[in-house]
Amino acid sequence: MTNRAEAVVNLSAIKANVALLKAKAGVDLLAVVKADAYGHGLVPVAKAALEGGATWLGVALLEEAIALRSAGITAPILAWLIPPGSDFKSAVDHDIDIAVSSLIALHEVSAVKGAKRPRVHLEVDTGMTRGGFLSEWDQIDLQDIRDIEIVGIFSHFARADEPGQAQNLEQLNRFKKMVANLESFGYNNLIRHLSNSAATLVDHASAFDMVRTGIAIYGLSPDVKTLGTSEKLSLKPAMTLRAKLHLVKEVPAGSPVGYGATEVTKVDTKLGLVAMGYADGIPRIAKNAGIFVDGKRAPIIGRVSMDQFVVDLGASSKAQSGDWVIVFGPGDSGEYTADDWGSASGSINYEIVTRIGPRVNRIYEL
Ligand SMILES: *Cc1c(COP(=O)(O)O)cnc(C)c1O
């Protein structure tokens, strides 16, 4: 593989973030490692999270869960987006806990025959109106599910990153009701889980038996505006994205840059060509982001291309062709952050890290 772009992932930061969040929650922590651990790398992150004190792993897809088992990970794993028609037997054989949110899926899972009983977490819709049982909740026939083990019940917040929002309390209350409803049928010792990262950080009343933390274990704030930056939350951003300057060149004032000539150099300057583009997850529409080199920020100029983008280094820059630059990092040295890239592209830090493409090598630091 060529040496032109790397995502350096600091595994000690992941461990420290998990330990901090677990201490805050005061209950078990499920580390959410879906989508290749938010772009950070599934297996190394899962191992680091377990070392940091996570006791569960959570993924969306069955294949993500099986990849963890294939890597020798034996911790409990919950997968919550296995659609009807999937190979539920394979989930059961791999000791993967299955989230169920429809009668169809419940019937398919309870029909799995084998040495082990399927382990199920019932997902309930408490007001996000996305996943989870809603109208079918009262139609679950407990006779039908004798052959499965109901391990847990869970739901998901829509607005946990807005502390004080009335919807949070409504969701919490509905969750309590649905838990009580299930318990009234003799299902006790359920693992009840509701909180995501934002709720774990600000809402103790929703912790129940386990929290499911994603973005915060990567050291990123669920919402910089409402909850503050990583630094304020004592989280350590784990990923630093570096790329090579393919080329540095002097250009005169008045030079149109890139496709569509959307920007023109205002003065004589040096431009740097960075060897990453939208195929690697650099948002094409990013404005007011860029790179960090030679002790300062150099903003994007012109449109981001598929494999490359151009930055304005400034006439006095000492950066040279072949130098490494930081696209984003924790921000300690003045470099742009994933938060900056998120707001520069009308998006969020989640999308920035998750979309770093497969052409970018992941490098791990202990
Ligand atoms: C992605 C996800 C999480 C983690 O959310 P964060 O905001 O990243 O902490 C938790 N639970 C479910 C069901 C999810 O899909």
CATH number of the domain residue 191 falls in: 3.20.20.10
**Closest Cα to atom 15 of ligand 1:** 60
The last residue of one of the domains, among 161, 191, 220, is: 220
Low-confidence ranges of the chain (pLDDT < 70): 1-2
The DSSP bridge pattern shows strands 56-59 and 28-32 to be parallel
- Residues 328 and 294 both lie in one domain: yes
Q: How many domains is the chain partitioned into structurally?
A: 2
Smallest CA-to-CA distance from 197 within 17, 325, 1 is with 17
Which atom of ligand 1 lies at the shortest distance from residue 60's CA?
15
Instruction: Give me the domain span that covers residue 106.
Output: 11-220
* Non-local CB neighbours of 173 within 8 Å, separated by 6+ positions: none
Predicted confidence at residue 182, as pLDDT, reads 95
* 143 and 248 both lie in a single domain: no
CA–CA dist 362, 51 (Å, integer): 20
Q: Closest Cα partner for 69 from 108, 105, 95, 101?
A: 95
Report the CATH number that the domain containing residue 315 is assigned in CATH.
2.40.37.10
Compute the distance between CA of residue 109 and CA of residue 140 in angstroms, rounded to an integer.
13
- Give percent of the chain with pLDDT exceeding 70: 99
Mutate to test the pocket of ligand 1, among 38, 156, 200 (most ligand atoms within 8 A of CB): 156
pLDDT at 161: 97
Q: Is residue 229 part of a domain?
A: no
pLDDT of residue 145: 85
Question: Do the beta carbons of residue 25 and residue 17 sit within 8 Å?
Answer: no
What single letter denotes the amino acid at residue 146? R
* DSSP assigned state of 204: G
Tokens representing 270?
A: 């040096």
313 and 279 in one domain? Answer: yes
pLDDT at 2: 65
Same domain flag for 98 and 193: yes
Report the atom number in ligand 1 closest to the C-alpha of 32.
4
- Backbone φ and ψ of 47, nearest 5°: -65, -45
pTM of the model: 0.97
Q: Is 80 in the pocket of ligand 1 (CB under 6 A)?
A: yes
**Predicted pLDDT of residue 1:** 56
Q: Are residues 26 and 160 in the same domain?
A: yes
**Secondary structure E strands in the chain:** 5-10, 28-32, 56-59, 77-79, 96-100, 119-123, 149-154, 191-193, 210-213, 239-251, 256-257, 263-264, 269-274, 290-293, 296-299, 309-312, 324-328, 361-365
Tokens 């009343």 correspond to what residue?
A: 205
DSSP string, 226-275: HH--TTTTT----EEEEEEEEEEEEE-TT-EESGGG-EE-SSSEEEEEES
